[in-house]
Chain A
Amino acid sequence: MVIESSEPFIKIKNVFYTHWNQETPTLKDLSLEIQPNTINVLVGPGGSGKSTLCSLFNGEIPHLLGGKLEGTVFVGGQNTNDLAVKNISQLVGHMLQDPESMFATLYVEDEIAFGPENLLIDAQEIKTSVNSLLELIQLQPQRNNLVWNLSGGQIQKLGLAVILAMHPKMVVLDEPTANLDPSATRSVHELILELRNQGMTILLVTRELDDFILSAADQLLVLDEGKIIANGNVQQVLKEFGSEMLTRLGIWLPETVEIGIALRDRFKVNLDRIPITVQETLHVLNQENLLRINLKLEQERSANRTLLPLSNPLISARNLEFTYNNGFKALNDVSFDIFPGEMLAIVGRNGAGKSTLAKLMVGLLKPQIGNLSLFDKPAAKWKVESLSEKIALVFQNPEHQFLTDTAFDEIAYSLLSRGVDDPNEVRKQVEDWMTRLDLLDFQKIHPFALSAGKKRRLGVATMLVCNPVVLLVDEPTYGQDKEMTQNLMALMESIRKLGVTVVMITHDMRLVQEYASRVLVMADGKILYEGEPSNLFCSEELLESANLRPTLLQELLKQYEDEGGCVCCSISTTDDFLNALEYSLASEDQYVN
């Protein structure tokens, strides 16, 4: 959709903004316009200033966050400098990255009513508004629930309802789907589309650009080092900056877009538009006579992945059950094995029991019913401290694990606690890990002062330095950009090759597809599937029952075969697909008979 220039709802001109505690500006000569009733998607690498930019729209800057603001910010035709925050909040609502921290009351319906109550709106009117918002976000049954008993997806939806209750004309959503399972992500995206259809203006900041939201977006904005380096129609931006977004900026784009850009750049296909959906990609492949091909790889990357070991399992669970004190049954008749040297992914919807399983494996919880054997010894007989020498857990929030005042000391602490006390040896090992994880320049920095991505890497380093037999990572790539994700996963892959078992709990199906040798799918405390990732992606029913979705690449491969092509090799990345296409085109029997 080409945006016709009516009066923009947001007009930002030549803005420089410097935080009160910094010397250099975070936003630099930034100008942009947002038209009413549009979906605008903002992307950019970590630390590019996305969250700071979001704070401009609802007056947090300059009214609440202080700092130095130059340039002008017009919202609904009015300069935010001249408006009070309470008035701006009825024009623009800002949902923070962690909406739970926005909540001020205890119950779902009270939370939605809170804003309108402050505006002295009539109680009956508020009740009607709360009912319609609960219907919109599909949380009617949870209206009397405590806010902290909601699932991740429900928290995001409640956060949205909280700002919609103020009846703004525009909503700014800062990473609303971070850490949500794929189905919950889609459901939030559908809600965003519904809001646009109702006349709302949306600004969505996200790392998870999927085909759905990218197809629906009216404008794509790319932020880098505090500047908008590209903005406009999605196709226009993808065509002009797509390659740069993928390479230099490390932005996650849908796999279909990656393939489209590669078809143009590598295969010299003349494209009118970059394909976004699977159907569009198939259409391009068909046009270029690339659809009915025997896809083969010269050397299968996946063949390098570990084959399932036949040795004795390190961890073995049989009929495991676990119920919390409040009666919530987190695990129900769970049985599985974890073998040496494999990379196992545990996936499933929010609240499926994945974290409970992780806590049982590291000894933080003890099994109640069933058997759990850890390294040939019943879990009940292990002490947490002794077990930590064999199995390491990287928590979802790395800050919880930090114990010292510098990044260097944090890694050194792990070595000292394992009895390595030779200062030279400690320094050598710490520096080695800091170099491998790109942290060496930050060794004197307090762990709490690091960026989210660096905290995550430091958390991983504190565990890897102990040479565990099993490394358990909760959401390994949360908060990481594409390049760092690839580095981190390459590191995991390298330690796996050295014999370390890597268990990752994740919602990122691209990681599962690309790296996992085996996958465990959980839902409602039960294991629904245990086996190879490729088989998981074949079962729509299974994916649906676990709130998962196939990756776009898997969807594409399935439909590629439906259209008469043949996928004769294991393809787990877009590079595999493109290499297979290239290799097959060069071979003699390229076309399916």
Chain B
Amino acid sequence: MSTSEHGLVFENRKSYLNSVYPLVKLAWVFVVAIGLFIYRSPISGAVMFLTILLVAMIAGKIPFQQILGSGKIIFGLGLLLMFFHFFVDPGNVVFKLGPLHITDNGLLQGPIFFFRLSVVVLASFILIWTTDTRDLMVSLTKAGVPYRGAFAVFLAMRFLPLIQKEVDAVKAAHSIRGKPTNSKFGHRFKLWRRYIFTILINGLRKAETTATSLECRAFGCFPTRTYVKDVHYKPLDLILLLVTILISGGLIVAERVL
């Protein structure tokens, strides 16, 4: 089984987003995130959510199934966060559910937080899906980041799908061990604790081996290094950034004018 069937892996689909200079995409994620923290209305968040979804599917050629598959945990967490705000935010009570009170402010803030979380994570996923992490490292180096630091970002992103693969393997292995307690929650908690332990231990071992291997392959010996493959910025890459700034700016203005 290859890892590429897992969600968070770069794939060159020969899309517009694949060709955009990595630093521009990184800047784009920041622009999207900043906009979301300025919006006051959930409608702006929803518009941006749809925009990012369309960007992923059209400009990135990423299948909707993949977006849903990788994002379901985050979207689920976003929904939990939304419901949490419904009940805990102070404001005028508009609905009562036993001892729980839903407030008008909660109904407004809940979706805002849902979209903040979902859109920022989705934009980050798009960056991962469409960017060869090696190219991101090279472009960061070109922007003046010391290559050892840039490589740390690269390694972190490189290990993501491997960690996901490890989680799947551990989950599968644990599921056939059965459970000795009737407490479903207690068992699940124990399993999660063990997933984290196993992945942490194996992660540390891998990190140690990789670090040794890097040293043995002369990584960091010189202040610079050769790059066999180079990446180049093109003015066309800026379209993504400019269109997003226009939409985000438009939404901020519209919130204040309308």
Task: Name A residues whose Cβ lies closer than 8 Å to a Cβ of B.
Answer: 58-60, 63-65, 84-86, 89-90, 93-94, 96, 98, 101-107, 110, 113-123, 126-127, 130, 146, 148-149, 162, 166, 324-326, 328, 330, 355-356, 359, 362-364, 384-385, 387-389, 392-393, 395, 397, 399-403, 413-414, 416-418, 421, 448, 462, 466
Contact of B172 among A58, A102, A107, A359 (CB under 8 A): A359
A110-B134, A328-B2, A400-B170 are contacts. A119–B221 as well, Cβ < 8 Å?
yes
Asked if residues B2 and A148 are in contact (CB atoms below 8 Å), the reply is yes
Q: How far is the CA of A53 from the CA of B3 in the complex (A)?
A: 34
Asked if residues A356 and B1 are in contact (CB atoms below 8 Å), the reply is yes
Q: How far is the CA of A166 from the CA of B221 in the complex (A)?
A: 14
Asked if residues A123 and B202 are in contact (CB atoms below 8 Å), the reply is no
- Known contacts A59-B216, A116-B226, A123-B226; 4 additional CB pairs below 8 A are A126-B226, A387-B176, A395-B173, A448-B201
Asked if residues B213 and A104 are in contact (CB atoms below 8 Å), the reply is yes
For the complex, is B96 an interface residue (Cβ under 8 Å from A)? no
B192 to chain A, nearest CB (A): 11
- Chain B residue nearest to A118 (CB atoms) is B218
Contact of A326 among B4, B158, B194, B229 (CB under 8 A): B4
Asked if residues A127 and B228 are in contact (CB atoms below 8 Å), the reply is yes
- Chain A residue nearest to B1 (CB atoms) is A324
- Chain A residue nearest to B180 (CB atoms) is A416
A105-B134, A393-B176 are contacts. A166–B228 as well, Cβ < 8 Å?
no
A149-B4, A384-B175 are contacts. A64–B215 as well, Cβ < 8 Å?
yes
Asked if residues B155 and A414 are in contact (CB atoms below 8 Å), the reply is no
Asked if residues A98 and B215 are in contact (CB atoms below 8 Å), the reply is no
Cβ contacts under 8 Å, A86 to chain B: 215, 218, 221
Cβ contacts under 8 Å, A110 to chain B: 134, 228-229
Task: Name B residues whose Cβ lies closer than 8 Å to a Cβ of A.
Answer: 1-5, 9-10, 132-134, 155, 158, 161-162, 165, 169-170, 172-180, 190-191, 194, 198, 201-202, 205-206, 209-210, 212-222, 224-229
- Chain B residue nearest to A126 (CB atoms) is B228
Q: How far is the CA of A166 from the CA of B215 in the complex (A)?
A: 12
Asked if residues A118 and B210 are in contact (CB atoms below 8 Å), the reply is no
Contact of B227 among A115, A117, A413, A462 (CB under 8 A): A117
Asked if residues B10 and A106 are in contact (CB atoms below 8 Å), the reply is yes
Contact of A364 among B165, B175, B177, B217 (CB under 8 A): B175
Asked if residues B176 and A362 are in contact (CB atoms below 8 Å), the reply is yes
A-B contact pairs, 8 of them (CB 8 A): A101-B206, A118-B218, A118-B219, A148-B162, A364-B176, A400-B198, A401-B174, A402-B198
Cβ contacts under 8 Å, B132 to chain A: 106
Asked if residues B4 and A64 are in contact (CB atoms below 8 Å), the reply is no
Contact of A89 among B162, B179, B216 (CB under 8 A): B216
A384-B175, A392-B176 are contacts. A120–B228 as well, Cβ < 8 Å?
no
Asked if residues A330 and B1 are in contact (CB atoms below 8 Å), the reply is yes
Q: How far is the CA of A325 from the CA of B165 in the complex (A)?
A: 14
A73 to chain B, nearest CB (A): 15
Q: How far is the CA of A356 from the CA of B225 in the complex (A)?
A: 42
Asked if residues B158 and A105 are in contact (CB atoms below 8 Å), the reply is yes
Q: How far is the CA of A119 from the CA of B219 in the complex (A)?
A: 8
Q: How far is the CA of A114 from the CA of B209 in the complex (A)?
A: 16
A519 to chain B, nearest CB (A): 24
Cβ contacts under 8 Å, B212 to chain A: 60, 64-65
- Chain B residue nearest to A111 (CB atoms) is B217
A258 to chain B, nearest CB (A): 35
Cβ contacts under 8 Å, B175 to chain A: 364, 384-385, 388
Asked if residues A104 and B155 are in contact (CB atoms below 8 Å), the reply is yes
Cβ contacts under 8 Å, B158 to chain A: 104-106
Q: How far is the CA of A388 from the CA of B170 in the complex (A)?
A: 16
Asked if residues B218 and A401 are in contact (CB atoms below 8 Å), the reply is no
A118-B220, A166-B217, A324-B1 are contacts. A399–B226 as well, Cβ < 8 Å?
no
- Chain B residue nearest to A401 (CB atoms) is B173
A89-B216, A104-B213, A105-B134 are contacts. A118–B179 as well, Cβ < 8 Å?
no
Cβ contacts under 8 Å, B226 to chain A: 116-117, 120-123, 126
Contact of B178 among A126, A148, A362, A389 (CB under 8 A): A389
A96-B213, A101-B206, A399-B198 are contacts. A414–B177 as well, Cβ < 8 Å?
yes
Q: How far is the CA of A104 from the CA of B133 in the complex (A)?
A: 11
A122 to chain B, nearest CB (A): 7
A110-B229, A403-B177, A417-B177 are contacts. A98–B209 as well, Cβ < 8 Å?
yes
A23 to chain B, nearest CB (A): 21
